[in-house]
Structure formats: C-alpha cells, structure tokens
Structure 1
Amino acid sequence: MYTVILAEKPSQAKSYADAFSSAQKSNGYYEISDPLFPGGAAITWGFGHLVSLEEPHAYKKEWKRWRLDLLPIIPDEFKFTVPYAKRAQFNIIKGLLRKANQIIVATDSDREGENIARSIIEQANMMHKPTKRLWINSLEKDVIRRGFQELRDGEDYLPLYDEAQTRQLSDWLVGMNMSRLYTLLLQEKGIDGPFSVGRVQTPTLYMIWQRQHEIENFKPEPFFQLLADHQAKDINFQTKHKESFKTSEEAAQILQKHYIEEGKTLNGTVSKAEKKQKKMQAPSLHSLSTLQAKLNRRFKYSPSNVLKTVQDLYEKKLVSYPRTDCPFITRNEFNYLAAQVEKMKESVGASFDVKHPRPRPKYVQDQKVQEHYAIIPTRKLLTKDRLEKLKPMERNVYEEIVNSTLAMFHEDYHYEETVIEVDINGLLFTAKGTVEKIRGWKELFNETNKKDAILPNVTVGDMLPSKVNVKEDVTKPPKPYTEGQLILMMKTAGKLLEDEQDQAVLKEVEGIGTEATRASIIDTLKKQKYITITKNNVSVTDKGVTLCKVIEGTLLSSPEMTAKWEAYLKKIGRRQGNQEAFLKNIGSFIEHMMQTAPEKIGAIPKGQGGTGTKKRSSSLADCPSCKKGKMVDKGGFYGCNEYKNGCRQTLPKILLSKKLSDAQIKALCEKGQTALLKGFKSKNGKTFSARLVLKDGKIEMEFK
C-alpha cells in the first residue's frame, strides 16, 4: 500500500523525513523507505495555502468592476484555484495523490492545517481516498515516529476542515461586499479609499477607536480624599477614608460632622489590626495569547513577531506546538518535565529546590487538553552556552517558556498582608501593607519588584496621634491599548482582563478571531493604515476614524456579534452546526448592511466624512493608458481616476519587496521606463537590480 504524507511546508516535511530510516529527496517530495510503510511512501508539501478562493470576476466578468448596483457578490457555489506561482508544486502533489492508496494529513495539527491539506486534496479530486491524521505537539524525532505509529482516523477531523473553510468563505463574503460597499459610498461623499472591511478586523478596529474616543473626550474632574497621617513606634504611615467627595465643601462637612479640624493633631484609636500570611501560586502555563501579551509588556515585542519567533523555536524542535489556546498539560507532559527540571534550571541559570514535585490542578488537567497542550520546552533542552547563541528575541522567548514551566515546580510566592483601621471620632481610615516573605517563583523572572509597604505593629485599642488633611486630585483618562493588550481584548471580546484571577472568572470566553489569527489581524490593521503603533501604544489614524464613524451602531462594530459568529464556527468543528446555516446567516447580514449603510452614510454632508480625513486627489501623472485621467494614490496602489468610465490602469506601490517612489511611478507614466533600480527580491530571497518598463499598461523588467 503506497502512502502519501502531505505536510504544510518544506521545513515541516524535512523534519518528518529526518525521522525515517531513509529519505531520498526528489523534485517536490521525499521518497521514504521505512518499516512503518512497507508498501513505500512519499512526503510532499504545500507552501501554506496552496489553494485559494477565486476572485469575483471568475464568477461573473462584471464583478471585476466596483459598482454599487453590482452588489451583493454572493456566488451560488464557491470556486477555488491554485495561483500560477504554486501550480508546479500542486501538480507534483496531485500526481502523488493519484498513486496513493492512503493519504496522511500531516499539516499543522489545527483547523487551518486541516483546511490547507483538505483543500489541496479536494482540488486534486482525491477526497474519496482513505485518509489518516498525524496529530502531534512537537517536531522531535521520537514524537514524530510515535505519531506515525499512532495515526488517527482522518474522517474524525473533517469537521475541523468544515469549520476552517466556513470561516474562510464567510471572511471572503464579508470582505468583498463590505469593502466595496463602504469604499463606494464614501467615495460619493468625496472621501477616497479604498476601505478594507472585515468580519473580525473591523470590530477590532472599532474597539480600539472606542478607547481612543474615550481618551480624546475625557474631561478631568476634581475629587477630594480624606487622608490621615499617624505615628506609631517611630514609624510614620498614612491611612485613607474609603469615600471620596466631588467638592471640598462635602469633605469639610464630613470632617465637621465628626468634630475633626483639618491639620490638627487628634487621638485616633486602632479599631482593627490584622496580619495574614498569604501565598500566590505561579501563573498558569502559557497559551499563545498569554505569551504574546507577556512579551509585549516586558520587551515591547509585537504579537506577530512573538508568533514568528515561537514558530521558529518549534521548527527547531525546542518548544511544543505554539498556536495553542490551552494553559494546561497532561500527566504525561508533567512527568517528562519533572524528570528534566535540573536541565531546565541549568539552561536558564536558575537555582532552587523543587517544592512541588507532584501535579497541581492549576497546571495539569488531562480532561482540559483537547487538541494541544500549553507551550512548554521539549526534551531537546538547550545548554546555557547554546542558549546564549540564539538571537536575542529567540533567547528571550525561549527563557520565558522555560521559566514559566520551572515556576510550576518552584515555591509559591509568600507575603504578609497587614490591614490597619483607625477610628478618629467615629470616622474610619484604613491602610493596607504587604511585606514579601519568600520570593519563590518570582525570582525566575527579572522584573522590578514592588517596594514593601511596611506598617507598624499595633494592636486594637492603641491610641495614635493622627492628623487629617483633605487632598485634592483629578480623575485620569484611561490609557491607550498596547499591542499585547489588543490580543487579550480580542480573546475576551472587548473585556480587557489582564489579571489572571479576573480571567478565571470568565469561564467560557467567546472571543473574536482565533489564537492563530489575532496577530495577523493586528498586522492587517497596520497594513491598511487604520492604526499606528508609537512606543507600543496603539492609536487609530484619520482613515480608521472615518471608517469607525460610519460603521458605528452597525453589527460591524459589534465584537459581541463577531464573538457569537466565532462560537458558532466552533460548533461546526464539533459537528453541532453546519456550513450552510452559517453562510445563510452571513448572506442575511450582508443584505441587511446593503439596505442600512447607504442611509447612514447618506446623512453625512459631502466632503465631511471624518475628522482630519483628506481625499487623495493629488495626481502623479497623466494616465498612460486612457490619456484622459490622472494616476492618483488609491491607498494600496496607484490607479486612474477615470475608472468609473472604464479605465483599469493600476500600478503597484510595492513590487517584489521594493517600494516604488512617486518619482519612479511618474517616470513610468511619462517616460515609459525608470532608471536602473536596486532592491528587488526574488522568490528565493536573492536581491537584484532591474529597469522597469511599461508596455501595454503592464510593468516588465529589463536587466541591461
């Protein structure tokens, strides 16, 4: 029986090949010889998404044009295609699949991996062939071999394909229709686009704008607090009354009621003096989102850079599968980690006695691990010397993963909490202090420690010299979101809960996006020039504000609705929902937006689409195609402003990784060519120089 193993990308296929007895590389695949496959086997690979959805004009030619009267774009049946640059590899895969008696889906062990593999198999018309599923959490050789020895039934994972494909189709429908709808409606108001609108990206943008809007419109308001200064056993300390007051008169009235004169020394009586010994367990093990948030907070790394780095560490067989939303491991993982605690300590230079050698439910729960467990180090531990040779970001990410794992075995953090309550003529004032007793797991993380708030040893009934003062303060605006907070905000559909105990309250989170896609959504918002990042703070641009204002009050601004959609998509993955029902719901949503959006945008006076919004009207040159129009900046590209009259001339802003300047575009339009330009990059990553030449409206390259 001949077996074809389908990997997601070349590096993954190479890891699989290295785990077998013999692997001979050929054009686009490895030929495998191993006792596991007595009938022979081949490993082949895609390049991520080898198969993609067709563009609208593949269904109807007229759908190529951006016109309101051609909306909505809802195909009766979706079409898929293989991009030209990927067809050679697809044909290699197709030929191998034809020979196969059995197909092993060995793409990433998640929904998207299932979609990548099944879309290739379906495009090759091979869905009728029997399939098995490789489902592993590490690319270590022994894990790979064990995974191939314990293959699962491929049919069991088809619901994940249905879920991922439904997400893909719904995103296409919303993106194609809403982007055109809002771009065209805003153009009628003199606001140039294009405006990219998406099922997940747009509610995310709106949540960011809500915070920014709150900050910009914040009006500081004064308030007054009652503070009391005391002395006990040569220690000065301060207590505070629990209420605050809007005016100084209100504060003065309370003092007068209790016969307290501001600034005058009175005797206060200690009415409560409590000391409690408390302890705190180490944080949960990392899912992708908590790892992204932690490293953004500590090092200002962007979520997408953290994902890329931890993916690289995974492919180097140093950490477990990164795109996980689970903070738990099973007893199996705990046992192998417990056996190598000493090696982990040596790797990161830690020194401590293991205080928790047995599994604890905060970290180890077999029943909570459904697809992938938390991100942990593999058995291939780095020595301290090899760790130092990693790139700085790789080292910091790896150390965070190892330290979070070690913390599970370390002593808890112990501290003493003191609460003192002082009664001054019947008015109560309170102070709370903490003193660190045992640093425990906190010593693994090089973070600034809060200074101890030391309170004196007092007993109930003690008399203390006390002086009350009224302190004026003002309310402060909320802080802008950071990139790391965006990840948590998306995970909780707008409920920003950084504290682990608060997160635990939210037992069933219906977030927006998935663990694997949230970083790319933030990148999309950057690419579309909707947000900018300054010193890790996120702000919405004028273009983003314009879009937020016109979608305000619609379902596109509702993270709750997007979260409900996400919840239903997960039901499809559990065989509790179906694609047809979901896409029908999306179609109804699009029809509703088609009816309501024109009315909402119609109320905007022409030319007043948003604060600070400017139409891109400055032309670079005459259109080289129609000779009537002007080439203008369209956001992501340059295009002729006579497109409504049929001119389709466009020119890219970026070509083969090189950004084209206004002067170079002008030279192309007016002279038909540029000077010799440096900085182009080929598919294999090599840089080269070329002269751009415009022929029949298309850019060609000359190398002389």
Structure 2
Amino acid sequence: MVKYLILTEKPSAAKNFAKALGGTAGHFADFDFRIMNLRGHLMTFKEPEAMVAEPLVKQYKSWKLVDMPWNLKDLSWQRTYIKTRTKGATNKQLLDQIKAELQTGYDGIVIATDNDPSGEGDLLAFEAIDAMRWQGQVLRANFMDETPPAIQQAMRQLLVIPDKWEFGPYLKGESRSRWDFASMQLTRIATTLAKGAGYSVVAREGRLKSVIIWKIYEQWQKIKAYVPVPYFEVKFKDPAGHIFARAVDKKATEIAWRFKDKQAGVQDLTHYHESPVTNEQHATKRQAPPKLLDLAGLAALLAPSGLSPKQVLSTYQKLYEAQYVSYPRTEDRNVTFEQFNELLPMVDQIAQLVGVDTRLLTHRQARSTHVKNQGSHGANRPGTKVPSDLGQLDKYGQGARQIYTVLAKNYLAMLAEDYIYDHVTAELQDYPAFKTAFNVPIKLNFKAVFNPDSDDATVEKAGALGPTAKPNLAEGTNPKPQTPTTKWIMAYLEKQNVGTGATRVSTLSEMSQGSKSMLNESKGKLTPTQTGEISAIMVENTWIASPKITKRLFAMMDEVAAFQMPMSQLLHSVTQVIEHDMPQMTENVQQLSARLGPPPKKRKVKAKPKAEQVTGVYKGEEIHFAKTWGNHTFTDQEISDLLAGKTITFETTTKQKKPFTAKGQLGKRTYRGNQYIGFKLIK
C-alpha cells in the first residue's frame, strides 16, 4: 500500500486536513497517510558572506557601497534555519522530527501548503523538503480552501512534481525570494547615505513599499503646497435647486468665464437674465452590482471604522482557518460556476444573519460579470460554513463581525437586481451652454443590499425641473488634493495594477507596525513617520519607486513561472535597478536637510569606565578577569580562591537592588562569539 506524508503549512491547517480525512493518520482513497505540519517559513537565505567563495567573504561581509551592485552569480543561494522557537522546539528540531518520521518508510511527500498565487506555499514546502534532504517522490494537493469537500477533492487529484525546477509555482516563489534578497542592497544604500547625512534610520526600500511610501509622501507634499485660490463664475439655479453650469475642461489652465476678482464676476453677472429651462431629457438606466471584493478592497472599506490593515489581515486569516470565509490571498475578482452553485443554498441564511431582506435576492442566476469559468480560489466571499449568529465570530479577532458583514453583503449584492435610475438632463433656452444632469433612483435593488458609494453626490431626490432658472454669482476654489487614505492608496495600486489585493494589505500592514514604522494609520488616514519621509525622499525618481517598473517586475515573475523567461534574466533586473537608483539616491540625500530640517544632534553617551582587571595563573595558564562582578569587588582572598579553582560565596544585590547570596567560580564564558574566563554563578 502506498503511504504519503501530508505536509501542511501550519498547525491549524493540519487540524482541518485531519477533520477532512478522518484523523492525523489513516487511509484515504488508495493510500495510507500521516499528517504533519510546518510553521510557515522555517528557512531563510544565509548572510551574503556565507554564500560566496572564500576570497569574496570580506567584500560581501562589509556591505560597502563601493562593492554594489553585487555580482549575483557569486551567490550560492544556500539557506539556513530561521532562529525562532515555538512551544520549546526550534525550526531545526521540527524538521528533524518530520525527517525521522519519513525514515520509517514513506513513498512520497504531499505538499499541502497554501496554494498562493505568489508561489509562497510551494516555496516554503520545498525549503523544508530540501533541508530534510528528501530524495523521494513529491506531490502537490491543490485545494481551493480548507473545507472537507475541497481537501478531499484535492487529495483525489494529487499532482506529481518530478522536478521542482520544472514546476512553475515554485519557480515563481523562488525567483521572487531571490529578487527580494538581492534588492536588500537598496535598503543598505539608502540607509548608509541617510546615516552619512546624520539621519539614523533604516530606510526599507522594497518593491511595493517604495511605490506606496513615495505616492503617500508626494500627496502630502501637494497638500502642504496647496494654496486655495478663489474664483467666481455665473451659474443658474431653478426653484427646485437644480444647478445649471458650463462644462469645465480639466486640462485648461485658464477659463475665460471664471474670474479671480469678485468684482469682475459681478460685472459678468449683468450680462445674464432669467431663462426658461428647455430640452429636458429622461433616460432610464441600469447599473450592475459592483465587483466582488479582494482583500485590499475589504481593508479600504473597513479602514474608516478604525480597523487597520493588520487587524483585517489577522482576523480574516483566523476566520478562514475556521472556514467562515474563503481563501484570503486570492487574485480572483470573480467566482467559478462551481463556487457559485456551492454557496447558493446558503444565501438566505447568510442574508438573514447580516440583516439583508431576502426578497431583494431575486437574481439567483449566475451573472457573466461575476461568475466565470476561470480562476482558482475565487474572490473573497463567505464560506459554506455559516455562523448561527455574528457574536459567534468575536473570538476570531477584532472586527470579525464587520469583516463578515461587509464580505457577505458584497457577495449578496450580486444576487439582487440592477440598480435602476432616471438620468435627467436639461439646458437653458437662452444660454444652451448652461446644462444640468442628475440621477433619480427608481429602484435601489442591489444598492439596498450593498452600496459602497453611499456618499454618491449624483443621486438626488430632486423636484421637477424649471420652469425657469435665475443667474447668480457662485464662488469656488481650486480643488484641494485628497488626503491619503487606505482606500485612496488601494485604488491607486489597483489602477496601476501593482501587486495583488493580499500583498497590498500585508505590505501596508507591515509598513504601519513597530517602532521603525514608515506610516501612521488612523481610521484609514495615512501619514508618513520621519522614517517614512526619509525613505520617500531617498526613492524620488528611482526605479524601485516606479509603479511602471514594479508592475513589470510582477509580470516578469509570472513569465518565469510560465517558463517564458529564465530566472537569471529576472535577477539581472535587480542589478539594473541598483545601477540606476544608487546615483539617484546619492543625489536625493542632499534634499534631506532642506525638506526635513537639520538632523538631530547625537547625544554624547559617557563611556563606562573599564573594570579593573586581575591577572593570575588559572589551570596552568595566565588569565585576566574583572575584579568586580555586579556590585561586588573580589577580596584578595576571594581572588586567590578563584584562581585555585575553588567556589566562593558572597553577599551582593541584584539590578533591582534586592539582596541575594552569590555562589560561583571561574569558568568559560562567551561574549559576542568570543570565549574568555570569568566568574560564573553556580545555580
């Protein structure tokens, strides 16, 4: 009987697989199995100096700018264990346990990690497989989500991977990983130059980070430079409040009938009189429901309520693991026919749960705009497991109710009819250039279920037009640049087609966390920290901050996965980016003090006086050790006893000044990798 070891990405996934297959070990389909789990990435690339030949070690260890860009052919791309410990086991110990199990006799490893569009799940699985030096068969389980039917279907359709270098998802993950590692040179370049100018920060210049921080910084510069310039122009208004105005060419720098001087506007007003309204037109129009959400769209909608990208990402992941929502890191904005039909029986239950009138859900046929025979995981949506009430979701993290409700209403909107409205237009008889246009709702339909544009100013419940409109002098100002928000930056990245919904959210979350964060986020409003401002200034006019270049890099990674481009060509683009950006950063650093003010003065730290040393012979060798330990200074007798290898006891205090009895002797100690002889406590 064939026997497989099923390797999941994390413990929660292992539990879901055990639930689907009837236990952590057993028989399914035509094979025996055992389920074991990783903990995400267990391996990472070694330091550059550990991946080059001996003559190059000193050069790569220094990270000097003069040695950049690196020759990537010098690197062996070897990995080592990430030094983390979870529940008492290091990453090496975890892999040793899996390796020991494999040695009991298995015919293959089934990769059951997340089926990410980025290839991340395949990469971390092969990192572990390579670390265990497994030479046997490797198979892939491609599952849409972690529900029992999806897992069971995937386990019946296992894909054999004869060679990882001929497996597109792995190639994509590995090429992205190598590109990002090599691009760390840009972070070192920017950081070194900034520190040289007196700004002690770490300027993290990643692919997506640089695009985001520059765009946000640039927008704030526009806001700071904004000066309101009032203007005056003639407009007409009818008794119902409809405004008639002339069309504005947004590209025009000067508009003849807009006046900076109010008196000139008053003078122009004398040229107009009350005019009849004419050419009233009514057109019944329809609007289809909005696209299904990705993680970026979900985060953008929830940001104003106070949910940060990190909270959305974390809580959504837990809801997914509990099978209440679909796979988070999808690139799809539609669902397949199979996914549509699978969720259809649950829609009434979901609607009642989130407060949607089921009588609105009359369009239960698949819409061609939302349901297609393409995609894999499908758009973000509710899962087939429906909670009995929303309070049941609270244990999965902050915002769980809001996440589920928005996700559900967005999906249910697809099952409502099109929004129908009356589009009304008219003009003035005596002045045809003055026109009005507005919408009057006829049937809200899907907008009564989910309306992300509830602040849409074009929807008016206006009275009847005309019969006449009177001229008046209207005052306006040049528009102020929009404040950067989560919704704003997500819309920009989507328009530029840079990154996936999930990578946008995870990157924005990372940029907003920790003491070295690049952004402050508050209810969706995004403001650069000083670290963010420095990072932004350093990438002005660079390729790494160009959405066009970043979009091309994502496309190149897809081409590597599709065997349309060798990985070496993709990696060469790192060198090209660095060759372009390093001189630009050298130029940009000159702008730091002009834009941010002089760097903060460094506080002088008084050097601690070196402890007095004792010299003596210990075990036949001359040694030196400190005469003091903590708050205690060794007596001559204690020094003599220590050199003789004896144990001494004395009274002293802890750092918190609590008294205690110290007992110890001389022994080997290690400091920063160097061994020395010093006093050691005996517990």
Structure 2 residue 448 is matched with structure 1 residue 443: yes
Structure 2 residue 534 is matched with structure 1 residue 546: yes
The residue type paired with residue 168 of structure 1 is: S
2:434 partner SS: strand
Structure 2 residue 316 is matched with structure 1 residue 348: no
Task: Write the distance in 1 (CA, Å) between the matches of 2:284 and 2:94.
Answer: 64
The structural deviation recorded for 1:2 is 2.1
- More moved, 426-435 vs 406-415: 426-435
Does the 8 A contact of 2:266 with 2:473 survive in 1?
no
The structural deviation recorded for 1:254 is 11
- CA 610–359 in structure 1, closer or farther in 2 if over 3 Å, else same: same
Please point out which of 614, 636, 639 is paired with 2:599: 614
Which residue in the other structure is 1:166 paired with?
A: 175
Task: Write the distance in 2 (CA, Å) between the matches of 1:517 and 1:676.
Answer: 49
- CA 374–581 in structure 1, closer or farther in 2 if over 3 Å, else same: same
Q: TM-score, normalised by structure 1?
A: 0.77
The structural deviation recorded for 1:397 is 0.8
Structure 2 residue 42 is matched with structure 1 residue 42: no
Q: TM-score, normalised by structure 2?
A: 0.79
- CA 183–392 in structure 1, closer or farther in 2 if over 3 Å, else same: closer
Does the 8 A contact of 1:543 with 1:613 survive in 2?
no
- CA 524–275 in structure 1, closer or farther in 2 if over 3 Å, else same: same
The residue type paired with residue 124 of structure 1 is: M
Task: Write the distance in 2 (CA, Å) between the matches of 1:624 and 1:101.
Answer: 64
Task: Write the distance in 2 (CA, Å) between the matches of 1:376 and 1:543.
Answer: 36
Task: Write the distance in 2 (CA, Å) between the matches of 1:293 and 1:591.
Answer: 36
The structural deviation recorded for 1:337 is 2.2
Please point out which of 516, 525, 528 is paired with 2:502: 516
Task: Write the distance in 2 (CA, Å) between the matches of 1:620 and 1:415.
Answer: 71
The residue type paired with residue 510 of structure 2 is: T
Which residue in the other structure is 2:215 paired with?
A: 207
Task: Write the distance in 1 (CA, Å) between the matches of 2:188 and 2:213.
Answer: 18
Task: Write the distance in 2 (CA, Å) between the matches of 1:71 and 1:152.
Answer: 42
The structural deviation recorded for 1:94 is 2.6
1:516 partner SS: helix
Task: Write the distance in 2 (CA, Å) between the matches of 1:284 and 1:236.
Answer: 34
Does the 8 A contact of 2:299 with 2:308 survive in 1?
yes
Which residue in the other structure is 1:653 paired with?
A: none
Which residue in the other structure is 1:286 paired with?
A: 293
Please point out which of 554, 563, 567 is paired with 1:575: 563
Structure 2 residue 65 is matched with structure 1 residue 68: yes
Please point out which of 107, 113, 117 is paired with 2:121: 113
Give per-residue Cα distances to partners, 1:386-431, cap 9 Å, x unaligned: 657656611111122222222111122222222221133x353222
- CA 432–56 in structure 1, closer or farther in 2 if over 3 Å, else same: same
The structural deviation recorded for 1:516 is 3.2
The residue type paired with residue 171 of structure 2 is: D
Which residue in the other structure is 2:252 paired with?
A: none
Does the 8 A contact of 2:44 with 2:82 survive in 1?
yes
The residue type paired with residue 183 of structure 2 is: V
The structural deviation recorded for 1:209 is 1.2
The structural deviation recorded for 1:363 is 0.8
Please point out which of 226, 230, 243 is paired with 1:222: 230
Give per-residue Cα distances to partners, 1:94-137, cap 9 Å, x unaligned: 334454311111000111111111111122222x4322211112
- More moved, 198-207 vs 322-331: 198-207
- More moved, 308-317 vs 71-80: 71-80
The residue type paired with residue 332 of structure 2 is: C
Give per-residue Cα distances to partners, 1:565-585, cap 9 Å, x unaligned: 111111112222221111122
Give per-residue Cα distances to partners, 1:336-383, cap 9 Å, x unaligned: 22222222223223223232121111111113x1x3211222221122
- CA 379–432 in structure 1, closer or farther in 2 if over 3 Å, else same: same
The structural deviation recorded for 1:237 is 3.8
Give per-residue Cα distances to partners, 1:313-335, cap 9 Å, x unaligned: 11001122111121111111221
Task: Write the distance in 2 (CA, Å) between the matches of 1:674 and 1:21.
Answer: 55
Identity within the alignment, %: 23
Please point out which of 193, 204, 210 is paired with 2:201: 193
Task: Write the distance in 2 (CA, Å) between the matches of 1:611 and 1:626.
Answer: 42
Task: Write the distance in 2 (CA, Å) between the matches of 1:65 and 1:479.
Answer: 44
Does the 8 A contact of 2:213 with 2:532 survive in 1?
yes
Does the 8 A contact of 2:235 with 2:245 survive in 1?
yes
2:329 partner SS: coil
The residue type paired with residue 566 of structure 2 is: N
Task: Write the distance in 1 (CA, Å) between the matches of 2:98 and 2:400.
Answer: 34
Which residue in the other structure is 1:183 paired with?
A: 191
Give per-residue Cα distances to partners, 1:23-77, cap 9 Å, x unaligned: 3xxxxxxxx1124354x32211111101111123423256444533454444432
Task: Write the distance in 2 (CA, Å) between the matches of 1:12 and 1:170.
Answer: 29
Equivalent residues in 2 for 1:120-269, closer than 5 Å: 120-126=128-134, 128-154=135-161, 158-175=167-184, 177-231=185-239, 235-243=240-248, 245-247=257-259, 261=270, 266-269=273-276
1:19 partner SS: helix
The residue type paired with residue 247 of structure 1 is: F
The residue type paired with residue 515 of structure 1 is: G
Task: Write the distance in 2 (CA, Å) between the matches of 1:549 and 1:124.
Answer: 44
Task: Write the distance in 1 (CA, Å) between the matches of 2:137 and 2:357.
Answer: 52
1:622 partner SS: coil
Equivalent residues in 2 for 1:468-487, closer than 5 Å: 468-487=471-490
Please point out which of 106, 109, 112 is paired with 1:103: 109
Please point out which of 547, 554, 558 is paired with 2:546: 558
The residue type paired with residue 553 of structure 2 is: W
The structural deviation recorded for 1:93 is 2.3
Which stretches in structure 2 are left out of the alignment for 5+ residues?
Answer: 52-56, 84-89, 249-254, 613-651, 659-668, 674-679
Which residue in the other structure is 1:78 paired with?
A: 77
Which residue in the other structure is 1:649 paired with?
A: none
Does the 8 A contact of 1:3 with 1:37 survive in 2?
no
Which residue in the other structure is 1:18 paired with?
A: 19
- More moved, 375-384 vs 309-318: 375-384
Alpha-carbon RMSD across the aligned residues, in angstroms, is: 3.4
Which residue in the other structure is 2:435 paired with?
A: 430
Which residue in the other structure is 1:664 paired with?
A: none
- CA 267–66 in structure 1, closer or farther in 2 if over 3 Å, else same: closer
- CA 675–165 in structure 1, closer or farther in 2 if over 3 Å, else same: farther
Does the 8 A contact of 2:49 with 2:60 survive in 1?
yes
Does the 8 A contact of 1:415 with 1:435 survive in 2?
yes
2:476 partner SS: strand
Structure 2 residue 327 is matched with structure 1 residue 335: no
- CA 87–673 in structure 1, closer or farther in 2 if over 3 Å, else same: farther
Give per-residue Cα distances to partners, 1:153-189, cap 9 Å, x unaligned: 33598211111111111111111x1222222223333
The structural deviation recorded for 1:251 is 9.6
Which residue in the other structure is 1:657 paired with?
A: none
Higher CA-based Rg: 2
Structure 2 residue 419 is matched with structure 1 residue 413: yes
Which residue in the other structure is 1:29 paired with?
A: none
Structure 2 residue 574 is matched with structure 1 residue 586: yes
Task: Write the distance in 2 (CA, Å) between the matches of 1:196 and 1:587.
Answer: 18
Task: Write the distance in 1 (CA, Å) between the matches of 2:537 and 2:611.
Answer: 36
- CA 674–49 in structure 1, closer or farther in 2 if over 3 Å, else same: farther
The count of aligned residue pairs is 596
Structure 2 residue 328 is matched with structure 1 residue 322: yes
The residue type paired with residue 347 of structure 2 is: V
Equivalent residues in 2 for 1:285-304, closer than 5 Å: 285-297=292-304, 299-304=305-310
The residue type paired with residue 177 of structure 2 is: Q
Does the 8 A contact of 1:288 with 1:325 survive in 2?
no
- CA 192–432 in structure 1, closer or farther in 2 if over 3 Å, else same: same
1:242 partner SS: coil
Does the 8 A contact of 1:200 with 1:562 survive in 2?
yes
Task: Write the distance in 2 (CA, Å) between the matches of 1:288 and 1:109.
Answer: 16
- CA 468–340 in structure 1, closer or farther in 2 if over 3 Å, else same: same
Structure 2 residue 656 is matched with structure 1 residue 675: yes
The structural deviation recorded for 1:449 is 6.4
